[in-house]
Amino acid sequence: MTELIEEYQLLAAFWMTIKLTAYSAVISLVLGTILAIMRVSPVRIFEWVGTTYVTLLRNTPLTLIVLFCSLGLWGQLGIELASRESDTFIVDNGFRLAVLGLSVYHAAFVCEALRSGVNTIPLGQAEAARSIGLTFSQSMTQVILPQAFRGAITPLGNVLIALTKNTTVVAAIGVAETAYRMKAIAEFEPALLMLGFAVVALGFVILTLPMGMLTSYLSARLAVKR
């Protein structure tokens, strides 16, 4: 097992998975929060844009989005997210395109998770915020969103776990994460394929189990008391 891990750089592959998850989680959280605000906005055009984005992205396969980022944005439109002068241009560009694809896809699910949190807040609180003169942006940032995040801890945690597992999709554009290394094991060491599957499965359990436990703890600890 040790030789398998070292020869196929599985530890480096899991580190790549962690980096993909971390960067994509931050970007999708920011973008998803903006989309959630747009979806509950009283401005119809903002609501329409937010709803359209969520509907389209949630119903588009992640593989297609990731391939579009690589073959469409880079291959056809020439959009590059790394400097060609860098010695690691291919690796850096592929990584950033993968993060882009993962982020825009999961932002739609973050948006819906936060919107579910917003729906748990009594309508009277928004009305009270308006009655004391708060603008929409002020009521969202000071009254609604803080409670929405607390109410959406469980669905946000589920999105994070799904994001971690979905990083395997970026193997389709050559990013050297765990699924990419599994492909190499299947090709060059078919006799060790089951062992490779077991190692990768155990690695994902180690990554996602603490997320689930932390989500459960925070959900109970920070639940909004009604």
Average pLDDT over residues 169-187: 77
Residues in the chain: 226
Q: Could you say which DSSP state residue 39 is in?
A: H
Task: For Cα atoms 54, 100, 45, give the angle at the middle one, nearest 5 degrees.
Answer: 35
For residue 22, what pLDDT band results from cuts at 50, 70 and 90?
Answer: very high
Phi, psi of 87 (to 5 degrees): -70, -20
Task: For Cα atoms 174, 188, 182, give the angle at the middle one, nearest 5 degrees.
Answer: 45
For residue 136, what pLDDT band results from cuts at 50, 70 and 90?
Answer: confident
Does an H or E element contain 105, and which? helix 89-119
The answer on pLDDT for 110 being more than 80 is yes
pLDDT score for 8: 65
Inside any domain, residue 103: yes
Distance of CA 215 to the CA centre of its chain: 16
Inside any domain, residue 74: yes
> Would you say 175 and 18 are in contact if contact means Cβ atoms under 8 Å apart?
no
Percent of the chain at pLDDT > 90 equals 36
pTM comes to: 0.88
Token readout for 63 is 């593989």
Name residue, tokens 């597992």: 165
Average pLDDT over residues 207-217: 90
Distance CA 201, CA 190 (A): 17
Is the alpha carbon torsion for 72, 185, 164, 57 positive or negative? positive
> Would you say 204 and 14 are in contact if contact means Cβ atoms under 8 Å apart?
no
Domain that holds residue 61: 2-221
Q: How far is CA 61 from CA 23, 32, 57, 198, 199, in A?
A: 20, 18, 8, 26, 27
What CATH code is carried by the domain that includes residue 204?
A: 1.10.3720.10
Average pLDDT of the residues of the chain: 85
Inside any domain, residue 226: no
Total domain count, the chain: 1
Token readout for 95 is 């990584």
